[in-house]
Chain A
Amino acid sequence: MSESDSNYWKENIRLLKILLSIWFVVSFLMSVIFVDQLDTIRIGGFKLGFWMAQQGSVYVYVILIFVYLKMMDRLDHKYHHEEKDILSEESSDELNNTQS
């Protein structure tokens, strides 16, 4: 593994740690373990803990994946993996076109 590859992997792991920590806090702490404490806060007709468990957590999941997508695009760009990826896509396209 080249130095550039191993740096790419380290940055990727750091990003995963951050995003998965948010994922853990939202899923298990806010929506399960501390749900009753959060329920003392009200937003409109919702108790906050109940809302996190039935709505908020799912929204956060969607946001997390799109943030990951964006950050990885940036990382791929920084380490020039983006170009390789597009090239391999095109070459496989050509391969398949000639086959069919």
Chain B
Amino acid sequence: MSLQVLTYIFVGLSFAVYIGIAIWSRATSTKEFYIAGAHVSPLANGLATAADWMSAASFISMAGIVSFMGRDGSVYLMGWTGGYVLLALMIAPYLRDFGKFTVPDFIGDRYYSQLARMVAVVCAIFVSFTYVAGQMRGVGVVFSRFLEVDINMGVFIGMGIVFFYAVLGGMKGITYTQVAQYCVLIFAYMVPAVFISILMTGQFIPQLGFGSEMTDALGGGYVLDRLDGLHEELGFSAYTSGDRATIDVLFITAALIMGTAGLPHVIIRFFTVPSVRAARKSAGYALLFIAILYTTAPAIAAFARTNLLNTVTNANYETMPEWFRTWENINLISFEDKNGDGLIQYVADPEVNELTVDRDIIVLANPEIAGLPNWVIALVAAGGLAAALSTAAGLLLVISTSISHDLLKRNLMPGISEKQELKFARIAIFFAVCIAGYFGINPPGFVAQVVAFAFGLAASSFFPAIVMGIFSTRMNKEGAVSGMIAGIVFTASYIIYFKFINPAADVSTNWWLGVSPEGIGTVGMLINFALALLVCRYTAEPPQDVKDMVLDIRIPGKPGS
């Protein structure tokens, strides 16, 4: 069967499953719509959280980033997993015990302040929209490459599917489709990885494979040693060593970790389980399922890099395999024969280098590069779509609850009935899908830059406010609000300056203390903590009922007031 037919079958089957689940899991109350009735088992929530978390960026781009950055790529591997330890130990169980629907719910109630609630709502909406634009774009790319439909058509189909199960089922529908999507995406990620590991090293566990010796046919020797050698020959720095300054790596890792622990679409997943213990347990499952992909990614990265360098280095352009042309046609590979010798020079020196390779190719083209059968390639297409759709749905739900629950019910229109609130939630999700689709079709040029924004803002606003709200009974609204605002303003100004106002200045010599805009969220977070603790010392204590609530959420089984 041709690749295209196979892809249609795989993608079509997976979509049919998602729609079937949506019809089966309609939501009838706001509790079901917002938090799936708090009836999700820890295992199902772990699977759903993993799919929610692993986006088009994790599935399509991450192995590629690591492949091109070598050891420096570790910031993403640790940054996007390490936050789960903080979530499990410091946030999820307590917010579950608090027992409301959203993150702004907690911030607003804990700091007895509508201003605090509004700051949280604005951050939640901004962070989620930033993120969702990238997902819709990922859907478009997969459709255009593998199904050969127009990229806009791809976005429309993706929107339609998400719209269907998110509007119908809310969190309940999203949760159970995410469970299915995790299964699709992890299978699609692992099959090519295992194949390639066996082909190159004879070891079927990729995590061990990239630390093993290559098969005799490929010349033997450890994979990573070979890769370091190839890098040196071509003038790149060794794959297993880093280029970035240690201080910057430290701050970026910390910003991604704290940002992960503060992202609302992840935190609300822990509201869907029935108990505190279930929240702890599902955080463990979630990270376990995430770790399967995240520890495979660096293996794919190393294998793909070796394969790529072996295939292109000083090879004749005319004899390049078919995949090279396919990706060249959609401009993800470009070759310019600078010295006119007909051979490909892929080297570190930009004056001599003739080949530009987009990082997204590493995962999408890896099966083709390694010569794997067509059904594996079709599977990767279905997996990429599952990753993008599951994350998009989770984010859209945060946007919808922020509007219908935090903004309308808890602030502007407290008198609305549950039925009306549910209607507003569905309307909000409809508009959110449309806006997300618009960004998918007309991607703002700054999607890549704003990712730093999403994590920086989450790290410098939510993370300190939530942690202090749980671990300090003394923290008051003056402290929390001034800390959040200072953290956000500092982080946002730094990023806006280097990414939008003066991008030319975005080089390490101009960075404050050598911290790049990607890592500045860590500094924003420290400012937030410091200012909040200082202000709270000189202002009134929080009211007794708030203090009691904090003490209650620390003890499982005592619901917050």
> In the complex, what distance in Å separates the CA atom of A23 from the CA atom of B81?
12
Check B85 against A23 for contact (C-beta < 8 Å).
Answer: yes
Interface size classification for chain A: 35 or more
B237 contacts A by Cβ under 8 Å: no
Interface string of B226-254 (1 = CB under 8 A from A): 00000000000000111000100110011
- Nearest residue (CB) in B for A86 is B275
User: Within the complex, what minimum Cβ distance (angstroms) separates B256 from chain A?
Assistant: 11
- Closest residue of B by beta carbon distance from A64: B85
Which residues from B are CB-within-8-Å of A39?
A: 240-241
Is the CB–CB distance between A96 and B37 below 8 Å?
A: yes
B55 contacts A by Cβ under 8 Å? no
Contact check, A50 vs B240: say whether CB atoms are below 8 A apart: yes
A33 vs B249: C-alpha distance when bound (angstroms): 9
Nearest-CB distance from B98 to chain A (Å)?
14
Task: Judge if B555 is at the interface, Cβ distance under 8 Å.
Answer: yes
Residues of A at the B interface (CB closer than 8 Å) are 1, 5, 8-9, 12, 16, 19-20, 23, 27-28, 31-33, 35-36, 39, 43-47, 50-51, 53-55, 57-59, 61-62, 64-66, 68-69, 72-73, 76, 81-82, 84-89, 92-93, 96, 99-100
Q: B100 within 8 Å of A by Cβ?
A: no
CB pair B212–A58 under 8 Å, yes or no, is no
Among candidates A33, A53, A62, A72, residue contacting B71 with C-beta atoms closer than 8 Å: A53
The reply to whether A62 and B288 form a contact with Cβ atoms under 8 Å apart is: yes
Within 8 Å by CB of A73, from B73, B225, B250, B277, lies B277
Q: Is B556 positioned at the interface, with any CB of A under 8 Å from its CB? A: yes
Alpha-carbon distance A100/B32, docked complex (angstroms): 11
Which residues does chain A contribute within 8 Å of B555, judged by CB atoms?
5, 8-9, 81
Contact A65 B90, CB 8 Å, known A27-B257, A44-B211, A84-B556: no
| Interface contact A45-B222, CB-CB below 8 Å | yes
Selected A-B contacts with CB under 8 Å, 23 pairs: A9-B555, A20-B86, A27-B82, A27-B257, A32-B246, A32-B253, A35-B71, A35-B242, A44-B212, A45-B213, A45-B223, A46-B224, A53-B74, A55-B295, A62-B288, A65-B85, A65-B280, A65-B287, A68-B89, A69-B284, A85-B557, A86-B275, A93-B39
Task: Give A50's nearest chain B residue, CB to CB.
Answer: B240
B284 touches A53 (CB 8 A): no
Of all chain B residues, the one with the shortest Cβ separation from A12 is B554
Contact of B294 among A58, A64, A87 (CB under 8 A): A58
User: A61 is contacted by which of B71, B81, B254 (Cβ under 8 Å)?
Assistant: B81
Does the CB pair A50–B557 fall under 8 Å? Answer: no
Q: Determine if B11 is an interface residue (Cβ-Cβ < 8 Å).
A: no
B122 at the interface (CB under 8 A from A): no
Given contact pairs A65-B85, A85-B556, A50 touches B246 in the complex (Cβ within 8 A):
no
* A residues near B298, Cβ cutoff 8 Å: 54-55
Expressed in whole angstroms, the minimum distance between the Cβ of B22 and any Cβ of chain A is 18
Residues of B within 8 A of A61 (CB): 81-82, 84-85, 287, 291
Q: Does B38 contact A (CB under 8 A)?
A: yes
In the complex, whether B364 has a CB less than 8 A from a CB of chain A is no
List the 4 shortest-distance A-B pairs measured between CB atoms, nearest first. Answer: A84-B557, A45-B222, A53-B74, A45-B211
| Bound CA span A31–B77, Å | 11
With an 8 A cutoff between CB atoms, is B283 at the interface?
yes
With CB as the reference atom, state the residue of chain B lying closest to A68.
B89
Give, as a whole number of angstroms, the nearest-CB distance from B371 to chain A.
23
B28 at interface, CB cutoff 8 A: yes
**Complex CA distance for A35 and B183, rounded to whole angstroms:** 35
Q: Are A69 and B222 in contact (CB under 8 A)?
A: no
Interface presence of B78 (CB below 8 A): yes
Selected from A16, A84, A86, the residue in CB contact (under 8 A) with B90 is: A16
The residue in chain B whose Cβ has the minimal distance to the Cβ of A33 is B246
Q: Is B369 an interface residue (CB 8 A)?
A: no
Closest residue of chain A to B471 (Cβ to Cβ) is A13
Flag whether B559 is at the interface (Cβ < 8 A): yes
In the complex, which residues 76-123 of chain B have their Cβ closer than 8 Å to any Cβ of chain A?
Answer: 77-78, 81-82, 84-86, 88-90, 93
Min CB gap B289→A, angstroms = 10
User: Contact partner of A85 among B28, B78, B275, CB < 8 A?
Assistant: B275
Contact B280 A89 (CB under 8 A): no
Bits for B18-60, please: 1 = Cβ < 8 Å to A, else 0: 0000000000110000000111000000000000000000000
- Tell me if B551 is interfacial: C-beta within 8 Å of chain A: yes
Given A53-B74, A55-B295, A61-B81, A69 contacting B89 (CB threshold 8 A): no
Query: Contact between A28 and B254 (Cβ–Cβ < 8 Å)?
Result: yes
A5 touches B551 (CB 8 A): yes
A50 touches B71 (CB 8 A): yes
Central interface residue in A19, A31, A76, by most chain B CB within 10 Å: A31
